[in-house]
Amino acid sequence: MPALLRSRSPVAHSQRACPAARAIALALTCTLVPIDAWAGEPRAEPMTAPSAAMPAGQLAASSPWQTAYYVVEGNAPGPTVLVLAGQHGDEPAGPIAAERLLGWRLCRGRLMVVPRANRAALAVGTRATPRARDPDLARNFPRARGEAPRGALAAALWQLLESARPDLILDYHEGFDFYRRGGKSIGSTVLYSPLPVAAELVPGILAAVNDTIAVASKRFDPIPKPIVGSIIDAAWRRLGIAGIVLETTKADQPLDLRVGQHLLMSEALLRALGMLALPDGMGACASRHPPRPSQAPAQLSAKAIGAKAMTKTTEAGASIPMNTSTSTMARAAPMAGSSTLREPEARANR
């Protein structure tokens, strides 16, 4: 197991015997184990605190689609990562993992978290949004220049994205089956926009989670094809903002394992960006573990986010009551002459 994720916890032995225990242990310890319960060397998991987070604001306020978003601030300026979960109501692992992020302590940067984007669908456990004209929230974002989001909830999420202008979007989803089985699902994949920052981070994310999976057919694969109509696809095409989708698999896997995989991959990403604090009570940054080298161009690289974001300033969001950071780095425009990278239709429903 790489040093990045080597456990110092009391369950380390069982994790070595059963790699999947690493993901489950992270899902449990992120909220249930107090800092002073760990003796000896600092543990590898993110530094956590009891989460009594108050919402930073409400999206689609005073409507049937109202949902809260939260902001976790680091001790110093740094990257802003927007985390979305719960766009589909039959994918429960993402919202649970996103809510646990609210207890993670950052040494720098900012997490903006929308843990339960589609509360109406989550309440009934369905992929589709009840009583909505455009029921698939995750396909309601702009597909062409000048096109508006469809529906009040997609419009509110898009407004948050435009106001915050994060350095990266992290979107949690679940497939109904494993991608490697060759069916219609894209479960156990990491989809990402074709921008350098995402391409550089994905290998480290994959290495972190696949190190815990013994069965080859259940391991994660990269897909550099955001689904058309998703917020990840619209963000890079319309705004030049990179995004990554973490897609776990519901088939034959318990909920706590899937939650743990979301947290494990998120931990690897935030460590690569130098955002996580050491569990020493001082809020110092953990050592960075940069992702594997990629062949992508150097502009808007993960290294640039980690280094240049230190010079960010803050300003009030124009239409949403929150503090947002203004990035000093140039946004990479969609590549000239690039063709639409469409997810195969047979796998578009996860």
Structure tokens at 168: 């990266």
Residue 305's pLDDT is 58
Mean predicted confidence (pLDDT) in 6-19 = 38
pLDDT-derived band at 77 (thresholds 50, 70, 90) equals: very high
Local structure of 251: helix, strand or coil: coil
Dihedral Cα 135, 140, 144, 146, nearest 10 deg: 110
Residue 304's pLDDT is 54
Quick check: 7 pLDDT over 50? Answer: no
Question: 304-307: long-range contacts at Cβ-Cβ below 8 A with a sequence spacing of 24 or more?
Answer: 304/197, 304/329, 305/79, 305/167, 305/168, 305/197, 305/273, 305/329, 306/78, 306/79, 306/272, 306/273, 306/274
* 261-319 pLDDT per residue, tens: 999 999 999 999 999 987 665 667 865 544 333 333 223 355 555 554 443 332 333 33
* 221-237 pLDDT per residue, tens: 999 999 999 999 999 99
Which among 268, 195, 186, 197 has a CA at the least distance from the CA of 220? Answer: 186
The pair phi, psi for residue 12, each rounded to 5°, is -60, -40
Strand segments, DSSP code E, in the chain are 57-59, 67-73, 80-84, 110-114, 168-175, 189-192, 221-223, 242-249, 313-316, 323-326
Residue 256's pLDDT is 97
Domains in the chain: how many in total?
Answer: 1
pLDDT-derived band at 215 (thresholds 50, 70, 90) equals: very high
CATH code for position 101: 3.40.630.10
Residue 33's pLDDT is 27
Q: How far apart are CA 341 and CA 203, in angstroms?
A: 20
Mean pLDDT over the full length of the chain: 77
Q: Which residue has the tokens 């890079």?
A: 236
Range of the domain at 38: 3-347
Residue 16's pLDDT is 40
Quick check: 325 pLDDT over 60? Answer: no
Share of residues in the chain with pLDDT > 70 (%): 65
Mean predicted confidence (pLDDT) in 34-55 = 46
* 135-179 pLDDT per residue, tens: 999 999 999 988 999 999 999 999 999 999 999 999 999 999 999
Which among 267, 105, 33 has a CA at the least distance from the CA of 10? Answer: 33
Residue 277's pLDDT is 83
Quick check: 343 pLDDT over 50? Answer: no
What's the whole-model pTM score? Answer: 0.76
* 99-110 pLDDT per residue, tens: 999 999 999 999
Of residues 84 and 278, the one with the higher pLDDT is 84
Query: Of 67-71, 123-127, 250-254, 319-323, where does mean pLDDT reach its minimum?
Result: 319-323
Quick check: 29 pLDDT over 90? Answer: no
Geometric angle at alpha carbon 287, from 45 and 18, rounded to 5°: 35
